[in-house]
A = this chain, B = another copy of it.
């Protein structure tokens, strides 16, 4: 097993010492990939995938695979039978399903909100990856499990423990309909056995949902009528249902807020990189864009005059509804300081606010605003 220090984790991405490298905090493990390093990659290579682990799991401090032998997953709740235990190893012999999909921290972009505590993600808490594994529905079928129609949520627990005796153990609930329709117990990431640091040997993956909902080191699934009341699900990783004034206090309840479930529409400029200097004239601008997979993107627009006018970009629609789109266009730029703005719109009519802080929320989740990339034209 390759043992990693926090600094090693940083080194995973940057092939040397990239000046934008940020290991945001030593523990729990957090590190972001400078967004420009993703340019030219349809699939984000595993060494550039951001890391955000709420709880520390020392034996998973590794980019190597973790042994699957002996790993058990318990299924309990309103189901018949009321409890089964499956061996993760048996999943290896079942039919595998693959998702090319965006993996994004729900706190990505937090640094753009005013007055927010917490990990100051800018744009680097995102990747486009391939997970593969076995549909949970196939596991249920194989074991003859019948889910009670009263069940509304599936709550997932990982094997890692709480960071202290006073803290909740992390778990998250997902709508049962989505879990039964699309969730897989993932065994592989980008074609390789799932690295320990990314949840290996087994992780619950539900495409279209934020990263925090992709529970690592899957140990237990509960089929229940109600959502988890765990701190991380019932208080953190939620947004108020009604707008809150920036800086205002807000007491989260299950009724006045919702979980950070579905990924928000986003677009990023990957090229030119932020603060780059480029030559005058025709400048190629490219980037990525995505949503929660509910509808195709209709357009990605670029503005170099601070939103006065927008020009369409070119892209191919990926086969997977959960994957990001690679878009590009060319703009004409005179010498001076410029900002490149990108904005996507999808076939549901969802777009991005010019100032994403209109969606301010106390923990700074679900940034969906237009990113503004400053560049210098020489």
Contacts and interface: CB of A to CB of B under 8 A. Distances in A.
Interface of A: 152, 177, 242-243, 255, 265, 294-295, 298, 309-310, 312, 345, 347-356, 358-359, 368-369
Interface centre among A152, A294, A349, A356 (most CB of B within 10 A): A349
A298 to B, nearest CB: 6
Given A177-B242, A243-B294, A309-B312, A355 B350 contact: no
Contacts of A356: 349
Given A177-B242, A242-B177, A312-B309, A345 B355 contact: no
A350 B347 contact: no
A352 B350 CA distance: 7
Nearest to A243: B294
Contacts of A348: 353, 358-359
Identify the interface centre among A243, A265, A310, A353: most chain B CB within 10 Å of its CB: A353
Contacts of A351: 345, 349-351
Contacts of A310: 310
A129 B354 CA distance: 30
A369 B347 CA distance: 10
A348 B355 CA distance: 8
A97 to B, nearest CB: 21
A309 B309 CA distance: 11
A354 B347 contact: yes
B347 A355 contact: yes
B349 A349 contact: no
A127 to B, nearest CB: 23
Q: How many copies does the complex hold?
A: 2
Nearest to A309: B312
A346 to B, nearest CB: 8
Contact of A353 (B152, B265, B349): B349
A83 to B, nearest CB: 26
A297 to B, nearest CB: 12
A78 B348 CA distance: 40
Given A242-B177, A243-B294, A294-B243, A358 B353 contact: no
A210 B145 CA distance: 44
A345 B349 CA distance: 9
A244 to B, nearest CB: 12
B347 A358 contact: yes
Contacts of A349: 265, 350-354, 356, 358, 368-369
A66 to B, nearest CB: 35
Contacts of A359: 348
Contacts of A152: 255
A305 to B, nearest CB: 12
24 contacts: A177-B242, A243-B294, A265-B349, A295-B353, A295-B358, A298-B354, A309-B312, A310-B310, A345-B351, A347-B353, A347-B355, A347-B358, A348-B353, A348-B358, A348-B359, A349-B350, A349-B351, A349-B352, A349-B353, A349-B354, A349-B358, A349-B369, A350-B351, A351-B351
A229 to B, nearest CB: 18
A294 B355 CA distance: 14
Contacts of A265: 349
A255 B358 CA distance: 28
A207 to B, nearest CB: 16
A359 B350 CA distance: 12
Contacts of A177: 242
Contacts of A347: 353-355, 358
Contacts of A350: 349-351
Given A349-B350, A349-B368, A350-B351, 10 more contacts: A177-B242, A265-B349, A295-B358, A298-B354, A309-B312, A310-B310, A347-B353, A347-B355, A348-B353, A349-B358
